[in-house]
Structure 1
Amino acid sequence: MSRHRSSLVPLALAYAALVVYASLYPFSEWQAPGVSPWAFWTLPWPRWWTGFDLVSNLLGYMPLGGLWCGALMRTGWHRILALLVAVLLGAGLSAGLEMLQNFLPSRVPSNVDFALNTLGTLAGALLAVLVAALGWLGRWQTLRDRWFVPQSGGGLALLLLWPVALLFPAPVPLALGHVGERLHEALQDLLRDTPYEAWALDLPAPGRQPLTPELELATIAMGLLAPCLLAYTITPPTWRRSLLVLGAALLGAAATTLSTALGFGPDHAFAWVAVASEVGWLVGVAVALVLAFLPPRVAAALGLGLIATSMALVNLAPADPYFASSLQGWEQGRFIRFHGLAQWIGWLWPYVTLAYFAARLFSRGPQAPTQRQKRLPQRRKDKVRRPRIGA
């Protein structure tokens, strides 16, 4: 199999980070264990366990095995070798995390968890090999070549992470990157009991004044435009972009609805829908469709300014008044670790996308040929091969 710059590579790394985060959360109160870090290998079956723990440990590592095995195959590795290496990586990661859990009082290392994690990695890798054997990876490459420009793996990974980022409650729908208040609090904590404490306390906190309806509408529209412009940087300017815009609108609505349902219950899943959000959604879709034929480099330049403006508006907005209630619901449930991860993705996604826009703008990589350029060689070939009448 030929080598490709696959979007599976950054996705595999991102999912590995998710596993590390979920396994070591809350990353606090580290202390030396009273037993050997390897003692859990010989422990008997744990007395306390639930079906959720078993299923989550098995299913949680399946995407990891599939992504790693798929990424290795997409970069040219043989299927069997990719499967073995993926399983070894998953088993090694699980073993290392189980040993590190010895140093966290809130976590309990378990040889059962390790076995389930390894089985999950193996199942995911086997599924990836099956997908490759059925030729689906080749079909995906054909589809990707038709829809996306070369070297688009990073952009595809960011597009796939965008709905995950929306799971964390935002002050305004689709408003990612709301870190101003957290940075303000972190700076005050850092400078406490120092000569600069008074200066830090006098700093005005962001997000004290609510956004006007016009600014809220603009923030929602720019939140939807951001992934659309990101898609434009990795796709040729054709009619297919309109389908990507509609897909982004549907994914954004679905992720926001799911986030609201997880925070406030299924009965309030559509509580985020209001006049400003509806109009902002329509404006975002309309503007994205108008810009559908922008060249990729122009879309990257426009995306730079849009992301910067959007983050400025987002950090002017106060925190969601229902955020505390939503956070409490997550903290008392089983998904708090993934809630924390979604929080980090929601904070960092616009900043990473900003860097990606800059990289696409100043890169000298190959650009996708236009439809006229694709047809021109064929026309010339036909012209050369046309037989002469009466020769």
Structure 2
Amino acid sequence: MAPAAAARHHRSSALPLAWLAVGVVVYASLYPFTGWRWPGGAPLTELMALPLPPYRNRFDLWANFLGYMPVAALIHAAGVRGGGRSGLCWLFTVLGAATLSYLMELTQQFLPLRYPSQIDWALNAAGAAAGATASALVLRLGWLDHWQRSRDRWFIRRSAGALALLLAWPLGLLFPTPMPLGLGPSWSRLQDGLMDLLVDVRGAEGILAWLEASPPPLGQLSPLAEAIGTALGLLGPCLLAFVVTRPGWRRAVVGAGATGLGLATTTLSAALNFGPVHALAWLTPVVVPACVLALALAALLLRAPARVAAVCGVVALSAGVMLVAQAPSDPYFALSLQAWEQGRFIHFHGLAQWVGWLWPVAALLWLAAHLASREPLDA
């Protein structure tokens, strides 16, 4: 199947993933979005030329090069799958990525905590060229056609949004969660953030009084509540995957893959926060029974119609969000946050936290839109 025909047959997941990658780049480039000021004494021509860096370590160099590779690869793939010619898509991708990088470096000069440089821009552009070239090579070798045929066998036509959400799910798990696999906004953190945001705002006294009078979260979740929350945290993504996966053994493979990815990402998060020695510290006595329960419930829906899986997914995600919102603050949250803010993840931790907060809401909205669609859910 030609790329253009494939694009017409399927809604490509490359496009939403490309937009997500661009959003990640913008967020990581401009975080923490505070302290904006005009560089003192710097003429406009000097700002446009970009300065040389005061220092750079090997991690920064590789991060700048590798950071733009997936962005460019996804943009190029999305362009080709949209019917564009590979050569023109390559050119526009590299030029567009280089322009985006230049604008980010230029804007960083107005942030006191960022250090823009010509070298960063050059590395970003080189990474974009490498990513677009890799995408063009994949297309040339026919790997995209192979993926398209496999996707036709495994997933329904309207699967792009769900697949993009499933790929974003591990990013949210990298930030410390109130309970294992429990994504969603924690009311205590949300309450503190809103109060800090509104404390000096005129006319917000009523909202502040309501926030202060709001009942606090539970002092401690019972083992049963923690087990249910963990099970729902795993079951929700599995059911989202089931909605777009052909019924039967393929759902079993996808569910097992999602389970392995979630557990591996949670282990990586613990290792990043507390060190490799404590990589399995999140594995409390209730986690294994909770995962077994989630997999048993998922097994009952291996052959269920897509609409049934979608309704069950809405219930699981909603209940999981309610439990996470009532969970007390993680006793290790302050330590974890300090590690993320002071370490190499300073420009990444906020993004992971927002993904963790918003992912269940985005998945619920996708499932609701899917259920409301007039097209057959299994088309």
TM-score bin (small chain): over 0.9
Structure 2 length normalisation: TM-score?
0.93
Report the CA distance between 1:60 and its aligned residue.
0.8
**Match for residue 172 of structure 1?**
179
**Match for residue 272 of structure 1?**
282
**Match for residue 136 of structure 2?**
129
**Match for residue 18 of structure 1?**
24
Determine whether 1:163 maps to 2:173: no
Preserved CA contact (<8 Å) 1:7 1:153 = yes
Report the CA distance between 1:209 and its aligned residue.
2.0
**Match for residue 103 of structure 1?**
110
Report the CA distance between 1:183 and its aligned residue.
2.5
Moved more, 26-35 or 346-355: 26-35
Preserved CA contact (<8 Å) 1:208 1:316 = yes
Equivalent of 2:322, from 312, 320, 323?
A: 312
Report the CA distance between 1:206 and its aligned residue.
3.7
Report the CA distance between 1:366 and its aligned residue.
4.1
Structure 1: which amino acid aligns with 2:35?
A: E
Equivalent of 1:92, from 90, 99, 109?
A: 99
Preserved CA contact (<8 Å) 2:185 2:321 = yes
Provide the rounded CA distance (Å) in 2 between the counterparts of 1:82 and 1:253: 37
Preserved CA contact (<8 Å) 2:51 2:117 = no
Structure 1: which amino acid aligns with 2:369?
A: A
Structure 2: which amino acid aligns with 1:280?
A: A
Q: Closer, same or farther in 2 for the Cα pair 1:337/1:259, shift >3 Å?
A: same
After superposition, what is the alpha-carbon deviation per residue over 1:113-150, rounded to whole angstroms, capped at 9, x for unaligned? 11111111010000000000000000000000000001
Matches within 5 A, 1:36-185: 36-40=43-47, 42=49, 45-185=52-192
Provide the rounded CA distance (Å) in 1 between the counterparts of 2:79 and 2:218: 49
**Match for residue 11 of structure 2?**
5
Unaligned stretches of 5+ in structure 1?
Answer: 370-391
Preserved CA contact (<8 Å) 2:70 2:131 = yes
**Match for residue 381 of structure 1?**
none
**Match for residue 341 of structure 2?**
331
Report the CA distance between 1:257 and its aligned residue.
0.2
Provide the rounded CA distance (Å) in 1 between the counterparts of 2:70 and 2:212: 47
Structure 1: which amino acid aligns with 2:36?
A: W
Matches within 5 A, 1:205-284: 205-284=215-294
Structure 1: which amino acid aligns with 2:300?
A: V
Structure 2: which amino acid aligns with 1:199?
A: A
* Number of residue pairs the alignment of both structures matches: 369
Structure 1: which amino acid aligns with 2:135?
A: A
Preserved CA contact (<8 Å) 1:187 1:200 = no
Report the CA distance between 1:37 and its aligned residue.
4.8
CA RMSD of aligned residues (A): 1.7
Q: Closer, same or farther in 2 for the Cα pair 1:197/1:229, shift >3 Å?
A: closer
Report the CA distance between 1:197 and its aligned residue.
6.4
**Match for residue 295 of structure 2?**
285
Preserved CA contact (<8 Å) 1:5 1:75 = no
Preserved CA contact (<8 Å) 1:150 1:367 = no
Preserved CA contact (<8 Å) 2:178 2:186 = no
Preserved CA contact (<8 Å) 1:188 1:200 = no
Moved more, 197-206 or 15-24: 197-206
**Match for residue 27 of structure 1?**
33
Structure 2: which amino acid aligns with 1:184?
A: Q
Q: Closer, same or farther in 2 for the Cα pair 1:250/1:104, shift >3 Å?
A: same
Preserved CA contact (<8 Å) 2:36 2:111 = yes
Unaligned stretches of 5+ in structure 2?
Answer: none
Structure 2: which amino acid aligns with 1:6?
A: S
Q: Closer, same or farther in 2 for the Cα pair 1:247/1:198, shift >3 Å?
A: closer
Structure 1: which amino acid aligns with 2:265?
A: A
Preserved CA contact (<8 Å) 1:66 1:125 = yes
Report the CA distance between 1:305 and its aligned residue.
1.6
Report the CA distance between 1:10 and its aligned residue.
0.9
Q: Closer, same or farther in 2 for the Cα pair 1:89/1:198, shift >3 Å?
A: closer
Provide the rounded CA distance (Å) in 1 between the counterparts of 2:298 and 2:286: 18
Report the CA distance between 1:274 and its aligned residue.
1.6
Determine whether 1:300 maps to 2:307: no
Structure 2: which amino acid aligns with 1:264?
A: F
Question: What is the SS of the residue equivalent to 2:109?
Answer: helix
**Match for residue 373 of structure 1?**
none
Provide the rounded CA distance (Å) in 1 between the counterparts of 2:288 and 2:28: 35
Preserved CA contact (<8 Å) 1:181 1:205 = no
After superposition, what is the alpha-carbon deviation per residue over 1:12-70, rounded to whole angstroms, capped at 9, x for unaligned? 11111111111111100111223245525546743422222211111111111111111
Structure 1: which amino acid aligns with 2:293?
A: V
Question: What is the SS of the residue equivalent to 2:174?
Answer: coil
Structure 1 length normalisation: TM-score?
0.90
Q: Closer, same or farther in 2 for the Cα pair 1:26/1:187, shift >3 Å?
A: closer
Provide the rounded CA distance (Å) in 2 between the counterparts of 1:164 and 1:57: 19
Provide the rounded CA distance (Å) in 1 between the counterparts of 2:116 and 2:208: 44
After superposition, what is the alpha-carbon deviation per residue over 1:90-125, rounded to whole angstroms, capped at 9, x for unaligned? 011111111111211111221111111111101000
Determine whether 1:360 maps to 2:366: no
Structure 2: which amino acid aligns with 1:239?
A: W
